[in-house]
Structure 1
Amino acid sequence: MSKTDKNQLKNIVNSKLIATVNVGVNPTAMAITSDSAKLYVANGNNYGIAGSDTVTLIDLTTMMPVLTISSGTFNQPYTITLSKDETKAYVTNSNASTVSIIDTATNKVTGIIDGFNGPSGMVITPDGTKAYVNNYGASTAIPSGSGNTVSVVDLISEKIIQEITLSEYTQAAAPSAIAISPKGDFVYTANYTNGEPWQGTLSKISTATNVVVDTIGGTPFLGGTPFLFGMFALKIDASGKFAYLTNFGSNNFAPYGTTVCVVDLEQNTQSALIEVGIQPSGFDITPDGLYGFVSNYNTLYSSGAPDYTGLTAGQGTVNIIDLSTNLLVPITINVGLSPGCIKMSPDGKYAIVSNYTGNTVSIISLYGE
């Protein structure tokens, strides 16, 4: 390790929680503008409280919420993705068949794209013309966790132009997370499959042909299943060589997972399995590419029954991984209750965590800045 590397490691240990911001009910995924000034938070409202399907806009210069965006088109808003020119924000409605479109100049919903089934994530090609949306399932015919497709969207016409089937078998893939390679040549989905340990897979889709060209994983490859709620739990590094998946655990939270799986995308092999906290959920990489931050959800059903009324949250934490060694940095940061998504600000100053049952966002200052 060079002197520079040692100094950088010393600095990352100084990362600390500096702010907690109130948002809406059950915040899930987030999007940050390229100037690191604005943060959009999708409030999933899994409890179904009337009027609580919203998006919160936070001013990161003041670390204060400035607007709550409401729309009759929202139905358990789950992820939020900015267009390449940042004039639009696309909100996936995980309990519906739609993606809502926010005009970021007015912060009002101006339309929808329809025809999905429990859309749970969205990625956009580098040229900004196409999007890929994973369908986790939400309808009566295809309930939650039974989805098996990715929709291809023409963003110019704002219409679905193709459906890609992920699995040819009777067991649905249940794509819970989606990511695109830096060059835009491949899209990957992390598939929850049947919610049992060792069954998770990673589908690889060619964007040139819109065909699944490989399925990576399965018994005993991934060492557990990807995060049930976490379309934001699949991250590809800037080189496009490695993918990081958080192994949250089974469908009813028992057994729970405790690892992050590192996949070598060139060799289609697992290169590391890193022990972290209970129910690792969100994952993101610092803009300098040196560290991975993982949020540990640490929330179990008090009764063992799979309904959200029985959730009992322990202390939510964030672990830091040195990506050069895949070893944990000796620091654990306490955040809010049930931390899910984690996003890095593009300027490299902050790691931001959404706290699902805490209804807050935690802001972590990086490198002691």
Structure 2
Amino acid sequence: MRERVVVGMFSGMRRNRGIPGNRWRVRTAASLVCVVLMSAALPSCGGNSTSEVKPSPVPSWKLGPSVTIERPRGIAVSPDGRRVYVANEAALDSDFGSISVIDAATASVAAIIPHVSDPESIALTTDGRQAYVIGKAFSVVDTQSNTVTTITEETSGDDIVISPDGRRAYIYYGRSGGMAVIDLGTYSTALIGTPGFAEAIATAPDGSRIYAATHDENGLSVIDSVTNKPTAMVRLPGDPRGLVVSPDGKYAYVTYRNSKDPKRHGVAVIDTQKKAIASTISTADAPTAIALSPDGRYAYVTIANKTSNAITMIDTATKSTTATLPINGIPWYVAISPNGRRAYVSVSSSEPPVQEIPGHLQVINID
């Protein structure tokens, strides 16, 4: 049975639909992967220069099975890796989508949770018992019973992350600018000002900072989680798309596109203590979402535009691209399993209208 409890509201402009390369906003699952993994004690990522890096075998990977899903978007993997939750965007003539629950062992749909208000992004609690969903409403899913409760309807959220202590959720919402923090005990909300609308958000592993990749400023805004006020801005070489923070909190990785020079797309590696770009990593084409392996050694970046759809593996220690796999369709979010052995990519059809043709969840096996 579905409950609905309206306890508060905030509003913004809902995102335009279209392919990632041609829309004002490209979402990322990177922050969602951090939510699943940050509760574990994880080793730090690689050193600051290639001279300090010890050679290690590059993981091999290959395309695995794909699971047909209508209009897949945000992804969250359960802490034990046995379930994958996918937000399914609403059809053009509907206000409601669904959540697909995927059995990771069989790569099949185990359940569908219906009547979710146009879901876009999803985050799991560290115990995996609840999922928080943002789209046209802020909703809570009980993963034991697969029931959904709508908390507030007047939202326009596109990305959601949960604080490491599980007490707050952070969302950003559309071109109206800014972010909001939701108290998960009372569901009260407060606005967080950002210098421009956010493209993606993430939290530091210790919860002390929130990071927002902002479009208007082409920068990474650093926000104090106690005062909810920006404290610094790191300028980026291009328009930000995806964002993830390393398990040790030392680096933030931001994918960006350079509209003036398409050959200068890449990933900015930001030193979070110095609040400055430490290095940049070039990508062959326009990057969108980004996720990290559990140890932070490898970054997985989706590439999406009219002519090239793929996923790229980057060695964060040597700061170089190690391999690229083509994707059949338009990749949106990417998430990594807790053991690092699988990547999951939500993919929509490359044929218009993309909202009306079923997409799929692409499984990538990593050895």
Q: TM-score, with normalisation over the residues of structure 1?
A: 0.78
Aligned partner of residue 248 in structure 2, secondary structure: coil
1:226 — aligned with what? Answer: 240
Aligned partner of residue 81 in structure 2, secondary structure: coil
- What is the CA–CA distance in structure 1 between the aligned matches of 2:261 and 2:114, rounded to whole Å? 35
2:97 — aligned with what? Answer: 53
Establish whether residue 66 from structure 1 lines up as the match of residue 110 from structure 2: yes
2:185 — aligned with what? Answer: 156
- What is the CA–CA distance in structure 2 between the aligned matches of 1:128 and 1:99, rounded to whole Å? 16
Q: Deviations over 1:124-150 (max 9, x none)?
A: 1222111111122xxxxxxxxx23221
1:239 — aligned with what? Answer: 248
Instruction: Report if the CA contact (8 A) 2:300-2:311 is conserved.
Output: yes
Aligned partner of residue 239 in structure 2, secondary structure: coil
Shift of 1:257: 6.8
Q: How many residues align?
A: 309
- What is the CA–CA distance in structure 1 between the aligned matches of 2:346 and 2:131, rounded to whole Å? 18
- Structure with bigger RCO (C-alpha 8 Å, 6+ apart): 2
Establish whether residue 335 from structure 1 lines up as the match of residue 303 from structure 2: no
For 1:156, the aligned partner's letter is G
Match for residue 351 of structure 1 among 324, 343, 349: 343
1:258 — aligned with what? Answer: 265
1:362 — aligned with what? Answer: 362
Instruction: Report if the CA contact (8 A) 2:303-2:331 is conserved.
Output: yes
Aligned ranges 1:96-111 → 2 under 5 Å: 96=136, 98-111=137-150
- What is the CA–CA distance in structure 1 between the aligned matches of 2:215 and 2:73, rounded to whole Å? 18
For 2:246, the aligned partner's letter is D
Q: Deviations over 1:225-277 (max 9, x none)?
A: 112xxxxx110001111111111466xx9969731111111112112221213
Instruction: Report if the CA contact (8 A) 1:315-1:337 is conserved.
Output: no
Shift of 1:6: 3.9
Instruction: Report if the CA contact (8 A) 2:79-2:127 is conserved.
Output: no
- What is the CA–CA distance in structure 2 between the aligned matches of 1:152 and 1:39, rounded to whole Å? 25
Shift of 1:52: 6.4
Q: Do the aligned partners of residues 226 and 29 (structure 1) sit closer, same or farther apart at CA in structure 2, a change above 3 Å counting? A: same
Shift of 1:5: 5.1
1:85 — aligned with what? Answer: 127
Instruction: Report if the CA contact (8 A) 1:257-1:280 is conserved.
Output: no
Establish whether residue 43 from structure 1 lines up as the match of residue 88 from structure 2: yes
1:202 — aligned with what? Answer: 220
What is the root-mean-square deviation of aligned Cα atoms in Å?
2.4
- What is the CA–CA distance in structure 2 between the aligned matches of 1:256 and 1:324, rounded to whole Å? 23
Instruction: Report if the CA contact (8 A) 2:138-2:152 is conserved.
Output: yes
Task: Give unmatched runs, 5+ long, in structure 2.
Answer: 1-49, 351-358
Aligned ranges 1:249-288 → 2 under 5 Å: 258-288=265-295
2:205 — aligned with what? Answer: 182
Shift of 1:110: 2.0
2:157 — aligned with what? Answer: 119
Q: Deviations over 1:42-93 (max 9, x none)?
A: 1224x6143762221110011111222221x512x11001123322211111
1:132 — aligned with what? Answer: 170
Establish whether residue 15 from structure 1 lines up as the match of residue 61 from structure 2: yes
Shift of 1:18: 1.3
Aligned partner of residue 57 in structure 2, secondary structure: helix
Q: Deviations over 1:191-223 (max 9, x none)?
A: 111xxxxx4111111112222111221xxxx11
Shift of 1:163: 1.1
Q: Do the aligned partners of residues 256 and 336 (structure 1) sit closer, same or farther apart at CA in structure 2, a change above 3 Å counting? A: farther
Instruction: Report if the CA contact (8 A) 1:258-1:277 is conserved.
Output: yes
- What is the CA–CA distance in structure 1 between the aligned matches of 2:96 and 2:83, rounded to whole Å? 21
- What is the CA–CA distance in structure 2 between the aligned matches of 1:248 and 1:88, rounded to whole Å? 34
1:29 — aligned with what? Answer: 74
For 1:361, the aligned partner's letter is L
For 1:152, the aligned partner's letter is V
For 2:327, the aligned partner's letter is V
- What is the CA–CA distance in structure 2 between the aligned matches of 1:324 and 1:317, rounded to whole Å? 22
Instruction: Report if the CA contact (8 A) 1:20-1:361 is conserved.
Output: yes
In percent, how many aligned pairs have the same letter?
A: 28
Q: TM-score, with normalisation over the residues of structure 2?
A: 0.78
Task: Give unmatched runs, 5+ long, in structure 1.
Answer: 137-145, 168-172, 194-198, 228-232, 300-313
1:196 — aligned with what? Answer: none
- What is the CA–CA distance in structure 2 between the aligned matches of 1:51 and 1:131, rounded to whole Å? 23
Q: Do the aligned partners of residues 51 and 6 (structure 1) sit closer, same or farther apart at CA in structure 2, a change above 3 Å counting? A: same
Instruction: Report if the CA contact (8 A) 1:24-1:55 is conserved.
Output: no
- What is the CA–CA distance in structure 1 between the aligned matches of 2:264 and 2:332, rounded to whole Å? 14
